[in-house]
Amino acid sequence: MRSLRCEIAMPKPRPPHLVKQITQHGKIVWYVRIGHGKRIRVRGTYGTQEFVDNYKSALAELQGIIPPKPKAGKFVEGSFAWLLKQYFNSVHWYNLAKSTKRQRELILMKVCDTIGNIPYREIKKSHITAGVERRKETPTAAHNFLKALNGLFNWAIDQGLLESNPTVGVRRPTYNNKDGFAVWTEEDVEKYYQKWAIRTHERVWIDVLLYTGLRRGDAVRIGWKDVKDNIIHLKTEKSKFQTDVFLPILPELAETLKIGPIGNETFICGKNGNKLVKESFGNLFREACNAAGIKKSAHGLRKLAATRAANSGATVSQLKAIFGWTEDKMASLYTKSADRKRLALEAIKKLQKNEG
C-alpha cells in the first residue's frame, strides 16, 4: 500500500500556505497550513472560484482574522447554527406538519452547512436575495428556500431574538408556469391511458389521483378501510390531520378498483402489493409519466381534477370540501377560470353574423 506523501515545496504560482497531498488512492486533496500548525482542508475543484473562496476563508481563519468554525456538535451562541438548534427545539417547530418539517429541515441544514458559524444577526436581505438568485433555475427550490428562512426568522422575532426579518421584501421567484406546477390536460390523460392499460398498477395510480383529487401523501394512505357507504373519509396530511374530507367513489374509479391491482391495505401499492410512502410513490409515478412521454407531476393532476370540478359547476364551498382547502383563495382561482371559460363560450356566439 502506497504511503501518503505530502508536497511542501510549492511552485511559484501556488498561493501561500497551500499544501497539496496525494492520498493512497491517488486522489489529490488541498490544505492550508501555516508552518507546522493546524491544517484546514480546502474544498472544491482547484482553480475554481469556490476553491479560491474556501482557500481565503481557511487562510483567514488560521491567521486569526476570522473566528474558527465550530466543531460538529458544538454551537456558538448567536450563530446561525445556534439559532437553528433553538428553532428545532421549539413548540412552533413541533407543531408544524411532518411533511413541512422534513422539507424545511433539509433546506435549513444545507444553509447551516454553509453559514452555520456566522452570527445570525448579520444576515441581511442581500444575502437572502443572493440565495434566491442562485436557485433561479429551479423556482420551486428558490420558493421553498425563501419560505423556510422566512419561517425561521419570524419565529426568532416572536422570541425576541431578532428585530427584523431579512427575508421581507425579497422578490419571490417567478415560475415558468405562473400557476406553479404544470397542469395536466385531458390529452395528457389520454396519452397516459394509451401507455398504461387497465389491470396495471400505473392505471390504478392515475385514477386514484384523478378521481379523488387527493395530494399524494393522502392518496397513498386510503383503502377500503376508509370507505363506508361508498364514501371515502379521511383527515388530510396537509392540515396535520385536522380537516375531514368526504369523497364519493365515482363509477370510473369504482371500475378501476374492481379490476385492480390494489393492495391489501391501500388502493395504491407497489409491484409486490406493498404500501408506499409518498416519496416512493412520487418517484414511481414520475417514472410512469416519463414512460408515457409526459413531463408532469402528481400535483399537476390534482389541478386537472379541480379544473374538471369547476368546469362542471362546482362552487367555492364545494371545491373546498372536495380538496380540503380551508380558505377561499385557491378554490376561487378555479371557479373564476371556469366562469371565464363559460362567459367566453357564450360571448363568442355573439360574434356570429346575424343571418336574420
Q: What is the pLDDT of residue 191?
A: 94
- Pick the closest to residue 82 from 37, 32, 30, 117 (CA basis): 117
Same-domain status, 211 and 114: no
Same-domain status, 192 and 329: yes
Same-domain status, 209 and 298: yes
The secondary structure of 61-89 as a DSSP string is: HHTTSSPPPPPTT---TTBHHHHHHHHHT
What pLDDT digit, counting tens, does each position of 295-331 carry? 888 887 887 887 777 777 777 777 666 666 666 666 5
Q: pLDDT at residue 348 above 60? A: no
What pLDDT digit, counting tens, does each position of 118-159 carry? 899 999 998 899 888 888 777 778 888 999 999 999 999 999
338 compared with 187, residue with greater pLDDT: 187
Establish if 68 belongs to a structural domain: no
User: Is the CB of residue 29 less than 8 Å from the CB of residue 23?
Assistant: yes
Same-domain status, 114 and 9: no
pLDDT band at 10 (very low <50, low <70, confident <90, very high): very low
Q: pLDDT at residue 355 above 60? A: no
Same-domain status, 275 and 310: yes
Establish if 172 belongs to a structural domain: no
41 is in which domain, residue-wise? 5-62
Q: How far is CA 336 from the centre of its chain?
A: 28
Residue 345 C-alpha cell reads as 363560450
Establish if 56 belongs to a structural domain: yes
pLDDT band at 342 (very low <50, low <70, confident <90, very high): low
Q: Which of 222-226, 236-240, 325-329, 342-346 has the highest mean pLDDT?
A: 222-226
pTM: 0.52
- Looking at the structure of the chain, the number of domains it has is 3
Q: Which residues sit opposite 233 in a β-bridge?
A: 246
> Dihedral of CA 249/251/256/257: which sign?
positive
Mean predicted confidence (pLDDT) in 262-278: 92
Same-domain status, 92 and 54: no
Q: What is the mean pLDDT of the chain?
A: 81
Query: Computed over its alpha carbons, how large is the radius of gyration of the chain?
Result: 27
Same-domain status, 204 and 304: yes
Given 118, 143, 158, the domain boundary residue is 158
Q: What is the pLDDT of residue 208?
A: 93
The secondary structure of 17-30 as a DSSP string is: TEEEEE-TTS-EEE
Same-domain status, 238 and 153: no
234 compared with 178, residue with greater pLDDT: 234
Q: pLDDT at residue 2 above 60? A: no
pLDDT band at 6 (very low <50, low <70, confident <90, very high): very low
Q: What is the pLDDT of residue 8?
A: 37
Q: What is the pLDDT of residue 37?
A: 83
User: Is the CB of residue 135 less than 8 Å from the CB of residue 142?
Assistant: yes
CA distance 11 to 13: 6
Neighbour-count burial for 59-89, b at 16+ CB within 10 Å, e otherwise: bebbeeeeeebeeeeebbeebbbbbbebbee
Same-domain status, 151 and 196: no
What pLDDT digit, counting tens, does each position of 11-65 carry? 457 888 899 888 877 888 889 998 888 888 888 888 888 888 888 888 887 877 6
What pLDDT digit, counting tens, does each position of 158-179 carry? 999 999 999 999 987 765 555 4
Q: What CATH number is given to the structural domain containing 85?
A: 1.10.150
Residue 315 C-alpha cell reads as 362552487
What pLDDT digit, counting tens, does each position of 62-116 carry? 877 665 665 554 568 899 999 999 999 999 998 888 778 888 998 999 888 888 8
- The alpha-helical segments, DSSP class H, found in 260-352 are 278-291, 298-311, 316-323, 328-349
Given 62, 88, 109, the domain boundary residue is 62
Residue located via cell numbers 443572493 = 130
Residue located via cell numbers 474556501 = 54
Same-domain status, 340 and 208: yes
Establish if 168 belongs to a structural domain: no
Establish if 277 belongs to a structural domain: yes
CA distance 10 to 32: 12
Establish if 175 belongs to a structural domain: no
Establish if 170 belongs to a structural domain: no
| Count of alpha carbons within 13 angstroms of residue 300, beta-carbon side | 20
Same-domain status, 87 and 45: no
Same-domain status, 204 and 237: yes
Q: pLDDT at residue 212 above 60? A: yes
Establish if 98 belongs to a structural domain: yes
Q: What CATH number is given to the structural domain containing 241?
A: 1.10.443.10
